[in-house]
């Protein structure tokens, strides 16, 4: 892994969707600019429907920005690249492959299966799914599927890992365990992490910077740098203060949306 | 998994004895047993009787065949006796085993009414033909005659089966392969779809056998022409279903594969193909029945070998027993082919929900 890879930069990105049924368009993102340094861990929080997934899909190369540009390591993002991994919000495992084969898919696709086969099993056991390595996705619970999706993206060790609410379906205990695993993996690989989450505590616990988005159209409403050292204490006064600040700002963003609608 | 199943027969789990479950998880079959309502003593006795019923009927068939006088003192052989005995002893083996294995018992119980009906059919058919002549000769030969017909022509029939299967599979695989190619690429690419759809809409509704008279004249070889005919019949359903299958694949599957670095070939063969497999197998099954029809028509009308030719040839000699025999052989052959296809399907689609039960 090259130390300096994983720089993501968005310049005034606007995304407009066509709404086929209504013969109208919808501005999902407007003038979003971001600068994310290599090996940085940032989170994006915002109310539902404010364009977080759209933003991530643009960085992944699954959508193209209507206006503005998105760059990764100085190159204009056009199309997908295994250097930018994505953990989907909804479960997108391949139903015809077993857990192990789902995870190995990326290694096979990039011709690294031989060297990485051991890693597959190691990661499966880290997320506690050793017993289910040969099961098919429909035999797993929602949370188990999320863990498999996470590992499937991790195993190819992308420079940028885009996480779209990857722990949403997990119980709080498993969630905390996997958060710690994420931090550990991030420390080892020093890749760039961009995490979308509804869980403000999760954002504070994990990230070095938090973007707050406001809805309709989706914009960056604010940015909160976090300088606490890892591992973070969820009940420290600093943690609680940041949480209150974010909740206040999200609330504010909601009011703004209501005004906008009027 | 197989290791667990092996240890299971050694220490069967009963519904009452839930404690032995603590050491290991039950197999799916055991699970059904545990969750099913327990049977009363009378019910079990009735079930045993049901299992024995086919044997009683088999005995009745044999008794009628051997002991009651034939119409016009027609001569019979023991081929039919052997046939009935063979069927009956297969049931008998299962019946004996059912006292030791609950699984066999359940299976036999499920199938026993069907077996009974089959033997009943034999008894009634014998009665209506050889015993009373209600169904007259030569149109309704009795089973003993049919079996003797098959036995007499066994070498020729085997050769016919071989030739039919060669023709069937040549056409089937050609049609399925081309159908997969057109269907998958039409599903993946809008431009291919643009050209393939009208082709399907025009050719699709024409039964492939319609082309036979033209093919008989135009084709350089009858075999080649028949392969083409069968392939055409298979091509249509396989193209339709594989295209629909690809169009039904959730976009997220393709996106996830692209994110992980899959190129065009991998998207086609490792994503589109397996994801569309449930649909494709519908087309393959449908295609098989179309192929069998086309095979019979081709053999009856032109090709000078195979089961379709045989039955037509025997018609020329008014050998009704052999024609019935051919029908039976055709039925068995196609059943085996369809069974093999369903085995492949089970194996390939084992990832699907509900395939374990
Ligand atoms: N392919 C699409 N076509 C049309 N509209 C879309 C499309 N994708 C997203 N949108 C719209 O863009 C807006 C933002 O969607 P997005 O999925 O990015 O929200 P989100 O912030 O991820 O929400 P959530 O937190 O609920 O996942 C929504 O109003 C949605 O209706
Ligand atoms: Mg989303």
Residue of chain A whose Cα is closest to the Cα of B252? A92
With vertex at residue A129, the alpha carbon angle to CA A123 and CA A134, rounded to the nearest 5 degrees, is 100
For residue B76, what are the CA distances in angstroms to B58, B145, B149, B298? 18, 8, 13, 36
Ligand 1 pocket test, candidate residues A49, A200, A212, most atoms within 8 A of CB? A49
Ligand 2: distance of its center to the CA of A183 in Å? 22
Provide the pLDDT confidence category of residue B21 given band limits of 50, 70 and 90: low
Indicate if ligand 1 lies below 6 Å from the C-beta of A90: no
**Residue B176 CB partners (closer than 8 Å, separation 6+):** B234, B235, B238, B284, B287
Question: Quick check: helix, strand or coil at residue B1?
Answer: coil
Structure tokens at B235: 């091509």
8 A C-beta contact, residue A129 and residue A102: no
Asked, as a colleague might, if the bond just before B86 is cis with ω within 30 of 0, I would say no
Q: Are A239 and A226 a contacting pair, CB within 8 Å?
A: no
Peptide bond into A217 cis (omega under 30): yes
Q: Report the pLDDT value the prediction gives residue B354, as an integer from 0 to 100.
A: 60
How many Å lie between the centroid of ligand 2 and the Cα of residue B96?
A: 62
Degrees, nearest 5: CA angle B19-B37-B22: 15
Instruction: Check pocket membership of A58 for ligand 1, CB cut-off 6 A.
Output: no
The answer to whether the Cβ–Cβ distance between B277 and A85 falls below 8 Å is no
Q: Which atom of ligand 1 is nearest to the CA of A54?
A: 18
Ligand in closest contact with the CA of A45? 1
- Residue A209: helix, strand or coil by DSSP? strand
Ligand closest to A54 (CA) is 1
Q: Do residues B57 and B120 make contact, with C-beta atoms less than 8 angstroms apart?
A: yes
Evaluate whether A25 touches A17 at the Cβ level (below 8 Å): yes
The distance of A110 to chain B (nearest Cα, Å) reads 6
Report the pLDDT value the prediction gives residue B317, as an integer from 0 to 100.
87
- Are the beta carbons of B351 and A96 separated by less than 8 Å? yes
Going from N- to C-terminal start, the domains of chain B cover 2-35, 41-152, 154-355
Q: Is the pTM of this model over 0.80?
A: no
B262/A138 CB distance under 8 A = no
Tens-digit pLDDT profile for residues A98-148: 999 999 999 998 888 888 778 888 889 888 888 898 999 988 888 888 889
Nearest CA to ligand 1 atom 16: A51
Residues forming a β-bridge with B60: none
The best mutation among A17, A66, A257 to test binding of ligand 1, ranked by most ligand atoms within 8 Å of the C-beta, falls on: A17
d(CA B161, CA B38): 48
Nearest by CB: B259 against A86, A90, A97: A86
CATH architecture under which domain B154-355 falls: Orthogonal Bundle (1.10)
Q: How far apart are CA B148 and CA A257, in angstroms?
A: 88
**C-beta atoms of A60 and B277 within 8 A:** no
Nearest to A106 among B261, B275, B353 (CB): B261
Tell me the CATH number for domain A8-226: 3.40.50.300
A192-196 and A160-164 beta bridge pairing: parallel
Residues in chain A predicted with pLDDT less than 70, given as ranges, are: 1-3, 252-262
Counted across chains A and B, CB pairs separated by less than 8 A come out at: 68
Mutation probe of ligand 1 site: the residue of A22, A53, A62, A195 with most atoms within 8 A of C-beta: A53
Q: Does B250 sit within 8 Å of A84, measured CB to CB?
A: no
- When pLDDT is averaged across residues B89-112 and rounded to a whole number, the result is 92
Interface ipTM: 0.86
Residues of B in contact with A81 (CB under 8 A): 261
The span from the CA of A112 to the CA of B209, in Å, is 50
According to the model, what pLDDT value does residue B324 have? 92
- Rounded distance, CA B353 to CA B357, Å? 9
C-beta separation of B188 from B246 below 8 A: yes
Per-residue pLDDT reduced to its tens digit, B117-174: 999 999 999 999 988 888 888 888 988 889 998 999 999 999 999 999 999 999 999 9
Long-range contacts of A146-149 (CB under 8 A, 24+ apart): A146/A91, A146/A170, A147/A178, A148/A93, A148/A99, A148/A102, A148/A103, A149/A87, A149/A88, A149/A91, A149/A92, A149/A93
Fill in the DSSP letter of residue B353: T
Task: Compare B39 and B343 and report the one with higher pLDDT.
Answer: B343
State the number of CA atoms in the 13 A half-sphere of A81 facing the CB. Answer: 17
Domain ranges of chain A: 8-226
Nearest to A92 among B256, B261, B263 (CB): B256
Half-sphere exposure in the Cβ direction for B127 (13 Å, CA): 10
Look-up: residue for tokens 């190819």?
Answer: A156
What number of helices (H) and strands (E) belong to chain A? 7, 10
Give the closest of B250, B255, B263 to A62, CB-based: B255
Residue B158 contacts residue B327 (beta carbons within 8 Å):
no
Backbone torsions φ then ψ of A128, nearest 5 degrees: 70, 35
């Amino acid at each position: 892994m090259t130390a300096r890879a994983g720089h993501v930069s968005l310049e005034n990105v606007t995304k407009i969707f066509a709404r086929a049924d209504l013969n109208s368009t919808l501005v999902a993102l407007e003038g979003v600019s971001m600068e994310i340094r290599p090996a940085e861990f940032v989170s994006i929080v915002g109310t539902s429907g404010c364009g977080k997934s759209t933003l991530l899909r643009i960085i992944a190369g699954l959508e193209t920005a209507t206006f503005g540009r998105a760059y990764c390591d100085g190159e204009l993002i056009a199309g997908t690249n295994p250097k930018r991994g994505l953990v989907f919000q909804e479960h997108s495992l391949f139903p015809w492959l077993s857990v192990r084969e789902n995870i190995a898919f990326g290694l096979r696709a990039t011709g690294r299966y031989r060297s990485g086969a051991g890693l597959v099993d190691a990661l499966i056991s880290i997320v506690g799914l050793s017993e289910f390595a040969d099961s098919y996705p429909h035999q797993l619970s929602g949370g188990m599927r999320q863990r498999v999706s996470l590992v499937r993206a991790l195993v190819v060790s992308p420079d940028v890992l885009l996480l779209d609410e990857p722990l949403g379906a997990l119980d709080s205990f498993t969630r905390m365990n996997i958060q710690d695993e994420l931090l550990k993996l991030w420390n080892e690989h020093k890749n760039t992490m961009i995490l979308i989450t509804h869980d403000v505590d999760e954002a504070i616990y994990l990230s070095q910077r938090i973007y707050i988005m406001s809805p309709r159209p989706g914009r960056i409403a604010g940015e909160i740098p976090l300088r606490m050292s890892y591992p973070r204490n969820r009940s420290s006064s600093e943690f609680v203060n940041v949480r209150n600040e974010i909740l206040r700002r999200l609330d504010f963003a909601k009011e703004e949306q209501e005004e906008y609608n009027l | 998994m197989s290791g667990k199943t092996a240890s299971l027969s050694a220490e069967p789990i009963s519904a009452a004895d839930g404690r032995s479950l603590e050491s290991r998880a039950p197999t799916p079959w055991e699970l059904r047993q545990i969750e099913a309502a327990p049977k009363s003593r009378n019910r079990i006795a009735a079930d045993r009787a049901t299992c024995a019923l086919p044997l009683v009927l088999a005995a009745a068939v044999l008794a009628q065949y051997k002991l009651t006088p034939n119409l016009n003192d027609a001569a019979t052989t023991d081929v039919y006796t052997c046939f009935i005995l063979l069927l009956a002893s297969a049931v008998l083996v299962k019946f004996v085993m059912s006292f030791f294995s609950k699984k066999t018992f359940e299976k036999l119980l499920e199938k026993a009414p069907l077996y009974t009906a089959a033997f009943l059919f034999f008894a009634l058919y014998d009665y209506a033909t050889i015993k009373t002549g209600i169904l007259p000769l030569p149109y309704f030969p009795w089973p003993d005659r049919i079996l003797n017909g098959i036995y007499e022509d066994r070498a020729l029939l085997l050769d016919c089966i071989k030739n039919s299967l060669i023709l069937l599979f040549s056409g089937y695989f050609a049609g399925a392969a081309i159908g997969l190619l057109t269907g998958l690429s039409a599903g993946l690419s809008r431009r291919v779809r643009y050209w393939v759809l009208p082709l399907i809409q025009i050719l699709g509704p024409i039964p492939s056998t319609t082309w036979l008279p033209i093919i008989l004249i135009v084709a350089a070889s009858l075999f080649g022409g028949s392969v083409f005919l069968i392939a055409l019949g298979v091509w249509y359903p396989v193209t339709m279903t594989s295209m629909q299958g690809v169009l039904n694949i959730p976009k997220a599957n393709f996106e996830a594969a692209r994110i992980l670095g899959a190129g065009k070939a991998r998207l086609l063969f490792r994503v589109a193909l397996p994801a569309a497999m449930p649909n494709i197998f519908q087309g393959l099954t449908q295609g098989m029945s179309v192929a069998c029809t086309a095979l019979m028509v081709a053999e009856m009308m032109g090709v000078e070998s195979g089961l379709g030719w045989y039955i037509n040839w025997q018609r020329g000699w008014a050998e009704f027993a052999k024609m019935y025999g051919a029908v039976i052989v055709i039925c068995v052959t196609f059943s085996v082919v369809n069974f093999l296809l369903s085995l492949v399907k089970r194996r390939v689609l084992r990832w699907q929900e509900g395939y374990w039960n």
